[in-house]
Every structure is written in structure tokens, then in C-alpha cells.
Structure 1
Amino acid sequence: MATDLANLTLLAPVTGRPEPVSALHDPVFANGLMGPGVAMEPTADQVVAPVSGEITMVAATKHAFGIRTADGLELLLHLGIDTVGLAGRPFTVTVNVGQHVTAGQPVATMAVAAIQQAGKAASVIVAITNGQAQAAKLFVTATTTVAAGEALAVVTRPLVTTSSADNISAPLAAANPDQPLAATIVAAVGGAPNVQSVVHCMTRLRFKLKDSAVAQTARLKATDGIIDVVQAANQYQVVIGAAVNDVYDAVVKLLGPRKPDPARPEARPQTVVAGLKRGLGNVIGVMTASMVPVIGILAGSGILKGILAALTGFHVLDAVSGTYMVLNALADAVFYFLPIILGITAAKKMAVDPIVMAVVGAVLVYPSLISAAQRATTADITVFGLPTHLVNYSASVFPIIVAAWLAKYVERYLKKWVPVALRSVLVPILEVMVLGLVVLVGIGPLITVISRGIANGIMAVYNLSPALSGLIIGGVYQTMVIFGLHWSLVPIAINDIAMNGHSYLNAILSVTMVAQGGAVLAVFLKTRHQKLKNLSLAAAISAFCGVTEPALYGVNLKYKRLFVIASVVSALGGMLTGLLRVDNFAMSGALVGFPAFINQKVGIDANFYGYLITHYGTLVLTTAAVYLFGFSDRLVEQPAESATESGNG
């Protein structure tokens, strides 16, 4: 409860006439999300400090300053509306962060005419950014044009206030009753004009800000519902925790549509290599963001599949028994129907119709098409006269992600041309037809051609040199998994075992699983982030059971260095596997599938010892390399550009 009021005179920062902030063409300032404030329309270029205090922030683009008074009032002095895109050209700054200024002291000049010629409003705003926490009220005392340094307004606040959390929540709840925390965040990062893009991961919002210096980090850290604020990898990260999805949705509603700023260098690649890198990063980012919601069930299913493989390998469970059939269905369902599940999650990421994408995923795993794809006599068909090779898309990731990306443009086009009265009926089925045909007739055959070429090349190298082929397969196989190209090698391994009773190729593939598992095992051992620790352990166990998707999409691709290290070590492990001619006697592998490396005719022999050397050697080397050189908790605060943009911490 307030016992007395403290008054502070606010001086005019420029010569001009005062305006209420509600009249500004900027929703953040106009709605008071930056705190109580006053605007001025300048008629001169000189800018002075409105109060005495310490300079806490100078924007890199020179258009904004932060000042903290001796008694803790925090002010933002903002020169112009959306002037961050002018890259500082109209401004000259004469103060530095940490410098003490007195009220009325010149701090900068702004070329008002140049700002207006650039099509920007030159309005100068003074906002009290911790106004809610201080229970501050601002009263404008000037009624006509005032000179810079003359009295403009009075700020009053209680000397004893209620808790800042109480004060900050009420006005924000009114601004956004569905999610008051979102309004706080949008205001504190500098408002919608300062946000270039925002994504989220499992625990945090990841902003790309036009000017991160404008953001009020102290205010965010002091806000209930925010765990921490981290700045890394050109991202401004607000750590929320489990409620991040709801907060993200509310933030997006406040921000409105985002589009790249062509004036900013990062909005356009400077070279072909940079463009390709950016494009690949975006693809992987969408893939990992789409996989995040299902990684837990993937990991658990992978562990169950590994246990079943071990039980059948030791003849504890018969592969034709009812128990095995049911447990196998439970373990395999998420992989079999993965395109449907990813259709829904990718739709959310790409902001398209999730039901449509689920149906497209169902088309990809439609039983009659899968049955036809598995028989050489029916795999090649024609669709509208176009030759098409059917592919088994169960457990695939890449095709449905591409379909979700295309859906964004297909939906937009269809909604433009289909009459409103018919949209609810025609748009969904037309979209399914277009996307289904593109994947089945276009992407599928393309993947088949590429994967067949890779498979033929690898097998030619294997016939020439097992060690060289082991090096190549070990190095690229998990990359092939990412893009769905690995299916060309799996049938070769299956055929080897069916026809010859063993497969040297499958032994090499097995090593790559151990390497990816070793990388996430190192993360589990090293990280202090409990959520990442839990995820890494589950992903490691899954990889050791032969299912690497949780490790790939949950951790390793997100922190690219981990994936690179695992791929390099698995290449070395594959080369050693080829040199030792390690053989595999069943379609199983990794660590749980060790019975598949025991020759049932002779029992434990040199082949099994070769398995132990290659697989456990790969495990130890990968884990050690990632632990010592590949991972630290700093990476949790600077996620891979993909991925997204989707980090885990």
C-alpha cells in the first residue's frame, strides 16, 4: 500500500509539440505495452536527456536509448517509428553505455528531414518501461510546443508499492486476457516492429530481433512465468518452460504476420553457398521442429523394438506368436504411420491445414500402394500417363515435410481461385490431390533414382574394397536416413540375409546407429539441463536398440557439431568393420542386436569379437569426442540454425 508519492519532472527530449502515445501508428507504444509514455513531433534535430541517470543501453542502430534514474525508474528514449531499418544513418550519438547524464544534456542528433524522406515517422517517444512495476503514472503538463530541455510531463509513483508482479499483470491482462505473459514479452522485446521472426522449441521462444539492444532483459527476467533470458547465435531467447506452446501462440497473435526485412543483410544470402546453407538449414529446421512432438514416443517405441529383437534373438519369444505380434504392433505403429503423424506436426509448423496433411500422410502409407511398392511386378505404374515408381513411405520423414512446405502455397492459390461458397468442400480434396500426386509421381521417383544410384555406387565400391565402402557407408548412411534415401540399402541387406544367410552391409549400417547413440550418450553425461538429459538418455537407448530418429532429430541435428562428429567416427567404424569383414546374420544390429553377430553354426568366433571391437570402439570414441570437444551447455543456448530454429533447452 502506498504511503507517499514521489514526483519526477520529465523534460522534453526534443523541440516540438507533445502528442499522446495513443495517436502513434505503432500498436506497441499506442497500446501502452512499453509502459506509460509521451510522444513528441520534433521540429529540430537536437536530442537531450529527459531525466538524469545512467545510460543503460544504446541501440546499435542509434535510434533508441535506455536511461535508469538513481531511484530505479527505467526509461526508453525512442527516436522515430520503425527507424531501425535506417541502420543508424540519420542519427549521431554522443553518449555511451554506463555514462551518467543530467536532465537536459545533449545525447544525440537526429536528421528529422532525412527520416521523413525515408518514409518514416520522426516521432520521439519517452516510455517508462518499468512503469507497471513502479506503479508509475505520467501526466503531460505541456500543452503547446516546447523547447528541448523544458518541462514536458510529471511522473508520479508511490514510495512504497505493492509487489511488482501484481502491478505488472493487471494492465497486461487487459491488453491480452488470453495470455498476459505474451503481451509482456512482445512489449519487452521492442514490440512487433522490432521482431523479424519468432519460433519456439521445447522450452523457449527464440526471437530474431532487428535490434536486440532495445529489448528489456531485466524486465523479462523479473516477470513471473519467465525462467531466464539468453542471447546467443543471433537469437534473443526467452525461456518459458512447459507452457511455451501456449505463450508462443499468443505471441504470434500479437505480432501478426512476419516477413523478412529486405533491407537487412540476413534477409538475403550473399553467395550461392550461403543460400544453399541457409536453405538446408531451413529444411532441417522444419524437419526437427516437426519431429519434436513425437520424439518421446519414437524413443520408447525404439527401445521396445530393441527388446523384442533381443528376445527373439535369444529365442525367448517366437516371432510368430500372438504376444510378439501384438507387442510388435505397439512398437512399430508410430514408425509405420509416421507420415500421418508428421503431417499434423509439420502442418502446425508451416501454418497449413493439419487434417489435409494427415490425409496426405495416409495416402503415402495406404496399404494397397505399399503392397504394390513391395512387389517388383507392381511397383512401376502410370498415373495420368506419367510413369511412376511406387515407394514404401512408412517411417519416412522427408516426403511429408516437402508436402507440408508445398501446402502453404497450394492452399494460398486454391483459396484465391475457389469461390468462398465451395472452399470448405473443394479446397481440402484438391489440396490432397495436388500434394499426393506431387509426392507419389514427383518426389517418390526422384528419391528412388537418387537412392538407387547411391546404392549401386556403394555396392560397386564394396566389391572393390570393403574398407573403402565401409568408410563411405559409415559416413553417409545417417544422412541418407534424414532424406529417406537409406531405403535403397535396406533391401540389399535383407536380400543378402535371405539369399546368403548373412550381410556384411548390415554390419556397417549397425555401426552408424551406435555412433549416433554415443553422441547423445555424451550429452546425457555432460549436460546439466534436466529435460535435455532425459531426452538424450532415451534417445541413446533407442539408438542402441537400432532406432536413431530420436537421437537425430531430438539432439544431434539440432547441435550440428554432434551429428558431424558422430558421422566422422561412424565412417571410421565402418572402415574398420569392412577391414575385419564383420558379418551380420539377421536384420538386427546396434548394441541390443548383438545376437545377430553370433554365427549360429559355430557360436562365438572371430566375427563376434570383430563386432565387439568395431561397435564398442565406435561407442567409446564417439562418446569421448563429443564429451570432450563436441558439446557444452553453451550450445543449448545457441541452437543450430535449423533446426531450428528448434532447440531443446
Structure 2
Amino acid sequence: MNNQTLLSLVAPADGKLLTLSKVQDPVFSQGLMGEGFSIEPSSGNIVSPADGVITLVSETKHAFGLKTSSGAEILVHLGIDTVDLKGEPFEVSIKEGDQVKAGDSVVKMNLQMIKDAGKQTTIILAITNSKDILEELMTTGFDKDVKAGSTVAVASLKSVQKKVVKKTGGKYDELAANIVENVGGVENIKSLIHCITRLRFYLKDDSKANDESIENLDGVITVAKAGGQYQVVIGQAVTDVYDAVIAQIGTQFTDDSATAEAVAETTDKADKVHDFWPNVKRGASNFIGVLTASMIPIIGILAGSGILKGILAALTGFKVLSTTSGTYILLNAIGDATFYFLPIILGFTAAKKLGSDPIVLAIVGGILIYPQIVTLAGKASTASTSFLGIPTTLVAYTSSVFPIIVAAWLGKYVEQFLKKVIPTYIRSVFVPILEALILSLVIIIGVGPIITVLSKGLSNGLVSIYNFSPTLCGFVIGGIYQTMVIFGLHWGLIPIVINDIATNGHSYINSILSITMVAQGGAVLAVFLKTKNKHLKEMSLAAAVSAFCGVTEPALYGVNLKYKRIFIVASIASAIGGALTGFLRVDNYALSGALIGFPAFITPGVGIGSNFYGYLISHYGTLVISVVLVYLFGFTDKMLVKKGDPMNLNNVKLA
């Protein structure tokens, strides 16, 4: 083995040795963190898997890292999702900088406490720089019991020397180190400058940068590639992060004149009116990046919940289940809970993405959907109220997305302000509750009325267009409705639909809204048919089924918005389908739609007739149009390569 080194790895705990593919965490099971193995432990005594220097001990004690003299960087992750346990099950006897030997005791892990918390105890070992240093990982055999400290694998390593990233102990030290590691390490950096929002790396090889890992770092908004630069979008804290990176990699990578020029240029552009549109495009791109990243952790359960809701809609449509039966109520609660409590979930995930306090933002989400507020908002007679004399209009924020994302964005700045004005010894009590108070009031008093006015104005305008031309109205609603959903502006149309069905027994508008679900579902179906990426295929198929059941969130946030061209093409298909629906004057007789809701298009007292045939033509015609347009013009697997997408597993060496 020329230019290779052998590294022996010992079992970090007693237990059963397993392949990474059996780990119930896609980041590890798909090899995104590097090659390695896992152990289902029978004992909580954790030992070092190799000789080396401790480079990382996580604040929550659930993971540690070490670097060997041969350059291998090893991460040992204790349990799955145990970061949520705040370090309570772990007693750590190591710190960063410690020299350890293979088999040295490093952590005591309370397995029972982890199990009682509903978490898995699986221990994961990954060589995080596998792509750079690993030739082959040979194990002694899986699915067998091993003892802590016994040799279980041998890694064949390339003999490479990597420059050491120095820790500085600053506030942005961990973020800086993670960015450096994921752009390919110090040895892949030629130089670094920054502008008013972005770190701008000049890299030796852009392909070594892991876009997905960087985008998922707390404190990073997104990444971009332009002008030969690899740009990491940070936002207001870019100077602090830049200083942290330079402190670690060395001042030889700086170019002060180029940095000054970039700052001046971007500041000037930000101030110029004629650059308004580019700034809007960048802002929209950043917003979508945060939105999709915040939704990704729950896409799976959203899709499953959507399918369950679709099945329930079909069962009630065919009178198999009554909406008052216990079976329906319980199943509906299971299917509806994720959507109802979406502001709480998104408050947590968006805050982690944007650097706000996740717990506080989850509480803000809870305030927005507090039962009494939802009840008052649901009635015109009680929706108008006031707070300390300030008039406001209450809005039902259940299932909403945009308001809590705004709150998460503001949260970081509100928290920074409060920490400046509140003495240290009372911060832990007053900062969280005041932050929750301020953010809730901003949304309820500020954002809520704006959304109400805009949604009512849009809705009234759309109804007027329908009265003038159903075909034109179908084209407009079909084209913009799913965008309205993203910003919470669709709620103005829902009362109109409900009133139409309650008063007249039918709704033409709901037929057009139904079309938009089919179009988004057709778009992800096209992705499923075209992509060769296994993970994207699975997600797209589930999202398509969910959309056909009337729930478009998995399609929107899991695929279509992430690859913006898909969403645009799907909206065009939706506009065409909406126009066709309006032209045929397809009517809807219940609060149901998409493909699963076809009973709602059967005319009561008449049965299957011209209206149902119009439904078939418009909905399945839209499905075909959407699939064909997206398949031909909306998506290609090259989009994954271009973005360094996490679903692009072709660029990842799997275990």
C-alpha cells in the first residue's frame, strides 16, 4: 500500500457492532458524515476508539471528536437526538486538547436515562474526513457482540498532511471551524474576503465544499457561487464570523484591500434604488432557503399526515366514517396535529437556522395558536380587539408558516437588544419572557392586520375577476394561490369558500383551489419519474401522494420551492389548469378537493354528470400538463450537482 497508513479502531463501548446503514438518522446512515460503524451499546462506559488529540467536546456532551497523528478526524456520537437532553445522561472526563489512547475511558453514558427520554442509545463512529483521507475501511464483521477497547476495524489511510485549525474560544469559534472544515479544510482555501453579508472564499477546488452541511449550520443562511467565489451568506454577523475564521486559519489568507472593495461595493449597491430588484431577488432566495431548511426536518411526517387526512376525506366522502365518530376524531387528530401546531414546530426549527432561541420561538408559536386567540379570531364579531389601546385584528395562525419565520428572524435582534439593557444576574428570567412578549405582539399587532388587509383585498379582487370572467379568474388564482399560501394570504379566500358552500351549497372558487394542489403534486411526480436520486425519489413520491390528498406542504417545502424552477413551472401549469376549470365552470360541493376529493364534485341530487366530467377533464388535464412541463423544463438532476444538494448522494462516499 504505497503512501498509505493503517489505523486500528477499537469499539467505543460494549455492544453489538452494526453498519452505519442501520442507524436511524439519515445524516449518518447515508454516509454524509463519513464512513464508519455503529454500536448498539449494552454498557455506558465509553472509551476512545483510537490514539489522538481531543478536538471537540460538544456543549451538550453527546458527542466528541479526536484527531489521530495520521490525520484521521473521528467523531463519536452518543445516541440519536440526544442533543435535546442537554447533557444530563453524560459524565465527560475529557476536554479539548487532551491526549488520549485507544481504550481510555472518556465518557459515562446513562443508557436508562436516554431510553426513558424516548431516545435511542446507538453509538455512531464516523471518520468525518473520509473523502480526503480514507482509502478503505475494513471491519471484523457486523451483527456480533464486541467488547469496549477491542479492535473492530482497520482504516487504510492516505498519507496526507492537513493544516490544523486553531480554536480561539470566541463566540463564533464553533461556527467558523465548521465552515472551514466543510469548505474542504484550510488546505483548500486560497484566500478569504467578506462583504456586508457574506464570507467570500476563493477555493482551490469548489467540489470539495459540502454545501448541504454549511447551509445547515446554525448561523448560516445559505451558500452561493459567483465570480469564482464560494460565498457563505451569514447576514449581520458576517464580520464577527470572518474574524473567527481568520483567527483560526491565519492572516496569510486575508486580502484587506479586496475586502474593503467588496464591502464598499455591496454597501453602495444596498443603498442604490436601481439595485432594488437584485436585492429583492437575493432576499427572496434567502427567505426560501430558511423556509425550506426549517421545514425539511418535518417533511416526512407532513407527507404522512397529508396522506392520512386524504384517506379520511375519502372515507367520509363515501359515508364510510362519520365526522362525529370516535374513530374519525382520533384519526383526524393524528393527521391534523402536525399542521395545527406548525407554528410551534417551525418556531423551533427556524430559530435554530437563524440563530434565535429555539425554545422562546416555540413558545411564540404556542402563543400565536393559543386556543382563546384562535376562537376569537374565528368570529368576525370578536376578531377586532385592542392591546393597551392599540387596535388590532386577530388572525388564526394555525397551520401558518410566514409569521413565525418573521418572528424567528427578528428574535436574534430582540434578544441581542435585551441582553444589552438587562443586567446579567436577571437575564435568565426576564430575557426569554420579554422576548416572547415582544415577538408575539409584533406578529399579532403588526403582521396580523397587514395579512388580514392584504388577504381580504386579494380575495375581493379575485371574486370580482371571477364575476367578470371565470376563465381569467381561474388563470390568476391557479397561478398565485400556492404563493399566497406561503405568505398566509390565502386565508381571505377560505371564508368565501366556506360561506359559498354553507349558503349556496357549492363553490366555484374551491374547484380552482383544488387544481393548485394537483399541479404541485404533478410537479413532484415529474421529479419522481425523472430523478435517479434514490432519496429524492422517495421524498417526491410521498409528497405527490400527499398533494393528491389535498396537502401540498411536503411538495412545496420539500422539493418545489427548494428547486425554484419546479415551483415556477408548476404554478404555470396550475394557471393553465385554473383557466380550464373556470372555463368549464367546474363546481365543488364540499370542503374537499384534489384527486382524493372527487366525491365533492358529484352534483347532489343529480349524480355523475357534466360537472363531474368537467372535474375529470380539468384535474387530470392539469396533472398531465404539470408532469409534462416539469419533466421537460422544470427539473434535471444537474440541479442537484449545481447546488451541492444533500440529496446528491452521487458525490458522497457511502459506508
TM-score, structure 1 as length reference: 0.65
Q: Does 1:333 align with 2:337?
A: yes
- Tell me if 1:210 matches 2:201: yes
What is the Cα deviation at residue 522 of structure 1? 0.5
Match of 1:578 in 2: 582
Amino acid at match of 1:405: W
Q: 1:187 aligns with which of 182, 185, 205?
A: 185
In 2: Cα distance, 1:301 partner to 1:497 partner: 25
Q: How many residues align?
A: 465
1:497 aligns with 2:501: yes
Secondary structure of the residue aligned to 1:600 is coil
The 3 A distance-change label for structure 1 pair 439 and 232 is: closer
C-alpha distance in structure 2 between counterparts of 1:216 and 1:646, whole Å: 14
Conservation of the 8 A alpha-carbon contact between 2:290 and 2:350: yes
2:450 aligned counterpart, secondary structure: helix
SS in 1 for 2:391: strand
Instruction: Give the direction of change, closer, same or farther, for the CA distance of 1:256–1:358 in structure 2 (3 Å limit).
Output: farther
> What CA distance in whole angstroms lies between the structure 2 residues aligned with 1:254 and 1:618?
52
Work out which of the residue numbers 610, 617, 633 in structure 2 matches 1:613.
617
Structure 1 counterpart of 2:488, from 484, 487, 490: 484
**How far is 1:604 from its partner?**
0.5
Give the drift of 1:307: 0.6
Distance 1:558 1:219, change over 3 A: closer
Q: Residue 175 of structure 1: CA displacement?
A: 8.1
| Residues in 2 aligned to 1:383 and 1:257: alpha-carbon distance in whole angstroms | 48
Shift of residue 630, structure 1, vs aligned partner: 1.3
- CA, structure 1 residues 219+548, in 2 after alignment: closer, same or farther (shift >3 Å)? closer
Trace 1:64-75 onto structure 2 (pairs within 5 A).
none
- 1:589 matches 2:593: yes
Deviation at 1:421, TM superposition (A): 0.4
Q: Residue 263 of structure 1 aligns to which amino acid in structure 2?
A: E
**2 CA distance for matches of 1:386 and 1:490?**
27
1:366 matched to 2:366:
no
The answer as to whether partners of 1:359 and 1:432 remain within 8 angstroms in 2 is yes
Q: Which residue of 2 aligns with 1:306?
A: 310
Q: Structure 1 residue 220: deviation in Å?
A: 9.3
* 1:460-481 CA distance string (max 9 Å, x none): 1111111111111111100100
Matched-pair contact (CA < 8 Å) for 2:418–2:431: yes
Match for residue 261 of structure 2? Answer: 263
Structure 2 residue matching 1:263: 3-state secondary structure = helix
Q: Is the 8 A contact 2:134 2:156 kept in 1?
A: yes
For the pair 1:379 / 2:377, whether they are aligned, the reply is no
The Cα shift of 1:637 comes to 2.4
Partners of 1:351 and 1:315 in 2: CA distance: 48
State the alpha-carbon separation in 2 of the partners of residues 184 and 647 from structure 1: 13
Task: Give the superposition deviation at 1:236.
Answer: 8.4
Whole-Å separation in 1 of the counterparts to 2:485 and 2:164: 47
Secondary structure of residue in 2 paired with 1:211 = strand
- Work out which of the residue numbers 588, 613, 632 in structure 2 matches 1:628: 632
- Work out the CA distance in 2 between the residues paired with 1:459 and 1:184: 51
1:228 equivalent in structure 2: none
| 1:353-432 equivalent positions in 2, closer than 5 A | 353-432=357-436
Matches within 5 A, 1:338-349: 338-349=342-353
Classify 1:262/1:535 alpha carbon distance in 2 versus 1 (closer, same or farther; 3 Å): farther
Q: Partner residue of 1:465?
A: 469
Q: Which residue of 2 aligns with 1:202?
A: none
**Rounded Cα–Cα distance in structure 1 between residues aligned with 2:225 and 2:247:** 23
Which residue of structure 1 aligns with residue 563 of structure 2? Answer: 559
User: Which secondary structure state, in structure 2, belongs to the residue aligned with residue 409 of structure 1?
Assistant: helix
Once residues 401 and 178 of structure 2 are traced to their aligned partners in structure 1, the CA distance between those partners, rounded to angstroms, is 37
Question: Which residue type is aligned with residue 357 of structure 2?
Answer: D
The alpha carbon displacement at 1:638 in A equals 3.0
Q: Which whole-Å deviations, capped at 9, do the CAs of 1:502-552 have from their partners, x for residues lacking one? A: 110000000011001111110000011111111111111111111111111
Give how far 1:568 is off: 1.1
| CA RMSD in angstroms, aligned pairs only | 3.9
Gaps of 5+ in 2: 5-66, 72-130, 136-153, 169-173, 212-222, 232-240, 249-253, 649-655
Amino acid at match of 1:300: G
1:232–1:436 distance in 2 versus 1, CA, 3 Å: closer
1:530 equivalenced with 2:530 (yes/no) = no
**Partner Cα separation in structure 1 for residue 322 and residue 242 of structure 2:** 52
> Which one-letter code corresponds to 1:383 in the other structure?
F
* Structure 1 residue runs without a partner (length 5+): 5-31, 37-129, 135-161, 200-206, 222-230, 239-250, 640-644
Identity of aligned residues (%): 54
Contact 1:172 1:183 in 2 (8 A): no
Aligned counterparts of 2:210 and 2:461: Cα–Cα separation in 1: 55
Name the SS of the counterpart of 1:442 in structure 2.
helix
Residue equivalent to 1:442? 446
Partners in 2 of 1:232 and 1:217 — Cα distance?
13
What one-letter code is carried by the residue in structure 2 that aligns with 1:315?
K
Letter in 2 for 1:577: T
Are the counterparts in 2 of residues 183 and 254 from structure 1 also a CA contact under 8 Å?
no
Quickly say closer, same or farther: Cα 1:511–1:262, change in 2 above 3 A.
farther
Query: How far apart, CA to CA, are the structure 1 residues paired with 2:384 and 2:484?
Result: 23
User: Deviation string for 1:625-648 (max 9, x for gaps)?
Assistant: 111111100111234xxxxx9865
**Is the deviation greater in 178-187 or in 401-410?**
178-187
Is 1:165 the counterpart of 2:157? The answer is: yes
Cα 1:458–1:180 shift into 2, 3 Å: closer
